[in-house]
Chain A
Amino acid sequence: MIEYAPTAGDLLWPISLPCRPQSAALIGLSAVLLMLSTGRIAGISGIFSGLLNLRGEDKGWRIAFIAGLILAPVIAGLVGYGMSPPKLPTSWAVIIVAGLLVGFGTRLGGGCTSGHGICGVARLSPRSIAATVVFMVTAVVTVAITHHVLGG
């Protein structure tokens, strides 16, 4: 069973922004605009991992995109729709192992939820459709095990 640490948001800020799932159309719009303007795939694991080598070229657009990604909730906060800190497992080991798996796995598999799930599936790439099915299944199984088998 994974225990989740209460966050300041639970007390001060119980999700001030109502969730509107249909607004994820913005994610699709962003991916399309990035492709139309710069010719790049809006795959976050790929954009981020491109910053982790020592070669100097090809970094500006990556930094700009990630800066925009982090600035979005900051700007939302300035206009009154702040984001509370996320609820994460209390165990540092779980957080670190999960981070390592996400980093290693997205590099080995060549993409994540955005690159495979949004861009690749939209391009009807067989690789991306297969990857999306696989990571959805292992994620569902992982949650089933940690929440129901281990959690009792």
Chain B
Amino acid sequence: MVIIAPLLCGLIFGAGLLISGMVQPTKVLGFLDIFGTWDPSLAVVMAAALAVSVPGFKLAGSNSRPWLAGQYFLPGKSGIDLRLVAGAALFGIGWGLVGLCPGPALENLATISPGVIVFVVAMAAGMIAHDIWQLARLSAQRELASATDG
């Protein structure tokens, strides 16, 4: 069950992206093109998803623990910081360049299209680059701290 639940959730998520049109980059770019021939239908996508997720998350919040796990894994951070804003800004530029965000990018792997594979590899490289940069930053900070201690 621990594997079947996320598998089913992935299938449902994929079906939602597929049928709503969110999986097509041209459709997404049409929605983002508010100064051109704007296609507002993806606003309905956001609204339809939220219409279910808002009451659903409220319901989940009233359960003391999930069905198949001992605890909820929720993000701990609460403040709006520079990292959040800069990260979201960079992500938006990448999204606007091609029309793929992570979910539709992974789902489009099903088409075995070379462009999608290259995009997903670049996306993974960007994620790894971030994590390496963070590790380097942390160890530099630690070195600095121990240097001042010594």
Chain A residues close to B by CB (< 8 Å): 2, 4-5, 7, 15, 17, 19-42, 44-45, 48-49, 52-53, 60-62, 64-77, 81, 83-89, 92, 94-114, 116-123, 125-127, 130-132, 134-144, 146-148
- What B residues does A147 contact at CB under 8 A? 29, 33, 35-36
- What A residues does B116 contact at CB under 8 A? 85-86, 88
User: B88–A23 contact, CB under 8 A?
Assistant: no
User: A97–B94 contact, CB under 8 A?
Assistant: yes
Given contact pairs A109-B84, A125-B75, A64 touches B53 in the complex (Cβ within 8 A)? no
User: A127–B100 contact, CB under 8 A?
Assistant: no
Instruction: Say if the beta carbon of B144 comes within 8 Å of chain A.
Output: no
Chain B residues close to A by CB (< 8 Å): 2-27, 29, 32-36, 41-42, 44-46, 48-54, 56-57, 59-60, 63, 65-69, 71-75, 77-80, 83-111, 113, 115-116, 118-131
A33 to B42 alpha-carbon distance, docked (Å): 22
Our count of residue pairs bridging A and B at CB distance below 8 angstroms stands at 471
User: A134–B92 contact, CB under 8 A?
Assistant: yes
User: B32–A89 contact, CB under 8 A?
Assistant: no
Beyond A19-B19, A73-B111, A81-B18, 18 additional contacts (C-beta under 8 Å) are A21-B21, A28-B53, A31-B9, A34-B6, A65-B10, A68-B13, A86-B99, A86-B104, A88-B25, A89-B98, A97-B94, A98-B95, A98-B98, A105-B87, A108-B83, A122-B50, A139-B93, A144-B36
Given contact pairs A87-B26, A127-B77, A144-B35, A60 touches B11 in the complex (Cβ within 8 A)? no
User: B35–A148 contact, CB under 8 A?
Assistant: yes
With beta carbons under 8 angstroms apart, the residue of A64, A85, A113, A146 that contacts B101 is: A113
